[in-house]
Copies of this chain bind each other. A is one copy, B any other.
């Protein structure tokens, strides 16, 4: 059997997230699986690198599936982009070794979060950024990012219920760039817990706006109390940029 890897871009606005639910029509996974069924006449389940939240986007989600189809890779690519809705695009189709697994083999991920930081809102980026008009202290936000970088137990920065699985993750880098009114935050790490990027972002923004003190980060690492962190910012500012294997 062939093992096919897909690199996928999607605008998550109309969807309930990556993972197929009862109503597959409203999930990215469901949409892709139904095109694969059309393409191969096989009933196939694809494995994503991980879920993305309802409304969140991806520029480089990764997934794999096994098939007996003999269709060439470039034909598959064309088939996907002919039959998928316009807000889901397959960017790459690759042939992988039999043992490649899009979830188990993840080495790391990069996420972006966009914040529209201006008294005047944006007509064009309103579904692809979080509108946060308050003045932000860049030095304080940079200091917050420095504190978050490294190997920590991020349990207090996640929406996880109590779990026996490890909640320790390593963040390799968090960077902030401003282009006009748009702030672009980039997170690189070996893995991110449920809603972790959105809770980290909420905390960084509240520190930048002077609503939270820098010290809360140390406290949350120690106490693991999620309530002490910032709000969970909306999913529509979040992009899964790339999955590293």
Contacts and interface: CB of A to CB of B under 8 A. Distances in A.
Contact of A10 (B77, B89, B123): B123
A131 to B, nearest CB: 9
Interface residues of A, number: 19
Could you say which of A10, A77, A87, A128 has the most chain B C-beta atoms within 10 Å of its C-beta? A87
A57 B124 contact: yes
Contact of A81 (B77, B86, B120, B124): B120
A123 B87 contact: yes
Interface string A103-146: 00000000000000000111110101000000000000000000
A87 B120 contact: no
A189 to B, nearest CB: 24
B91 A124 contact: no
A214 interface: no
- How many chain copies does the complex carry? 2
A9 interface: yes
A91 B89 CA distance: 33
Nearest to A124: B11
Contact of A89 (B57, B87, B90, B120): B120
A58 to B, nearest CB: 9
B121 A89 contact: yes
A10 B77 CA distance: 34
B81 A123 contact: no
Contacts of A122: 9, 89
Interface in A5-19: 9-11
A90 B9 CA distance: 31
Contact of A121 (B81, B120, B123): B81
Give the 9 A-B CB pairs with smallest separation, nearest first.
A89-B123, A9-B123, A11-B123, A86-B126, A87-B123, A10-B123, A89-B121, A91-B120, A11-B124
Interface of A: 9-11, 57, 77, 81, 86-91, 120-124, 126, 128
Given A9-B124, A11-B123, A88-B123, 16 more contacts: A9-B122, A9-B123, A10-B123, A57-B124, A77-B120, A86-B121, A86-B126, A87-B123, A87-B126, A89-B120, A89-B121, A89-B122, A89-B123, A90-B120, A91-B120, A124-B128
